[in-house]
Amino acid sequence: MLIQAAKQKDECEEAFNQINKKLNEGIATVQSLSKYDIAELRSMQKPPKAIKLILKTVCILLGVEPVRKRSKKTGEDKFSYWAAAQGPEILGNPSLP
């Protein structure tokens, strides 16, 4: 039982170290963004799905509500995190980078 607990501890420490490494890489990447990069993101009319997903995550983490937009195809209302991210709280925030 003691050997099994030691193995689990080692596995947890290894997983933690991998996650911590990725977190530090992510922080370094975010810190390397310039105002030009943010302006370029904000000006995109149709960003890639990965960009939309990342900014949706940022909106959720920062508590920014999605913007209600009317779909051109169906005429129904839909919620857009992309439009919310372009607002003053995320990409419009001059102190973001």
Q: Confidence band (pLDDT; 50, 70, 90) for 28? A: confident
Q: Give me the phi and psi of 77, to 5 degrees please.
A: -75, 140
Tell me how crowded residue 91 is: count the other CB atoms within 10 A of its CB: 20
* Structure tokens given for 46: 């149709």
Instruction: Return the pLDDT at 97.
Output: 53
- In whole angstroms, give the CA distance from residue 38 to residue 19: 26
Q: How confident is the model at residue 34 (pLDDT cuts 50, 70, 90)?
A: confident
pLDDT digit string (tens) for 35-69?
888 888 888 888 999 999 989 998 999 899 999 98
